[in-house]
Amino acid sequence: MPYSHPQPLTREQALGRIHHLLPGALAFAGTAGFINSIALGVFRSPVSHMTGAVSYLGIDFAGGHARAAIATLSIILAFMVGAGLAGLIVGAENLAPGRRYGAALCCEGGLLAAAMFLLVSGRSFGVSLIAMACGLQNATTSSYCGLMIRTTHVTGTVTDIGVMLGHWLRHRQIERRKLLFMVGVVTAFGAGVWIGALADGRWGSASLAIASVGCMIAGGSIGLFPRWFTRTMRGGNA
């Protein structure tokens, strides 16, 4: 990663941490799916990953839709800025759970709250703030205690699941805990999208308050009890 140098882990250490990281990974993936679903209800482009956004940008330019292209470009740049915020807040030589992660989560909650107020008041710029929150989350969790964890998109995760199933069909040994971990992340993302769609249909953009409050509570808890979270995420060996 450009903003950190995660400590190397042995295969046994990495697999051992999967169990402790699973609850957080599921919560992050569910949150990303939730807010992406609400954003799609406002704007056609996804905000939790940039593949679709970049594709729409090219289509808009080709079709001469300058206004739509500017809106899509703002989402891409906002996602990048969010990732930059993660490097500024969390950046360290050896990433580990602690107050910096708590601060990043609180910042994500603040961005979602601001996005909610903008969208409720009819200002579409709030979608860019959602993208910024997703960029912040994705960069924060991408390099966690030496493990690469993507929580705002599932393309790579679905690819890895397919590869592992291919190995299994060839009667090769696979890491079942890792496979279950990835299936859980994809399932949580999909569940978040479903819940987000239901919430959006009932409360509209105000539904972002749910994700905002959740991020702030989680961030505040990590900030108040960093040593407990460090021990928990590292399997009690902090």
Report pLDDT digits (tens) over 33-68.
999 999 988 887 788 888 888 998 999 999 999 988
Find out whether 51 and 158 touch, Cβ atoms under 8 Å.
no
| 127 token code pair | 């979608």
Q: How far apart are CA 1 and CA 224, in angstroms?
A: 27
Give bridge partners of residue 144 from the DSSP assignment.
Answer: 147
Q: How far apart are CA 195 and CA 37, in angstroms?
A: 9
The number of angstroms, rounded, from the C-alpha of 170 to the middle of its chain's C-alpha atoms is 33
The whole-number average pLDDT for the span 97-111 is 85
Q: Phi first, then psi: give them for residue 176, nearest 5 degrees.
A: -65, -35
Report pLDDT digits (tens) over 137-169.
988 877 554 456 677 888 888 988 999 999 999
| pLDDT at residue 106, as a whole number | 94
The whole-number average pLDDT for the span 161-189 is 89
133 within a domain of the structure (yes/no): yes
Q: How far apart are the first and last CA of the chain?
A: 24
pLDDT band at residue 3 using 50, 70 and 90 as cut-offs: very low
Residue 117 has pLDDT above 50, yes or no: yes
Residue 8 has pLDDT above 50, yes or no: no
Mean pLDDT of all residues in the chain?
Answer: 82
14 within a domain of the structure (yes/no): no
97, amino acid identity: P
71 within a domain of the structure (yes/no): yes
Question: Among the residues of the chain, which ranges form H helices?
Answer: 11-40, 51-63, 66-90, 99-120, 126-142, 155-169, 176-203, 208-224, 226-233
161 within a domain of the structure (yes/no): yes
For the chain, the domain total comes to 1
200, amino acid identity: D
Q: Which of 119, 142, 143, 141 is nearest to 130 (CA)?
A: 119
% of the chain exceeding 70 in pLDDT: 79
Find out whether 34 and 192 touch, Cβ atoms under 8 Å.
yes
Taking the CA atoms of residue 123, residue 129, residue 134 and residue 136 in that order, the dihedral angle to the nearest 10 degrees is -170
Check: pTM over 0.85? Answer yes or no. Answer: no
95 within a domain of the structure (yes/no): yes
Domain residue limits at 225:
27-233
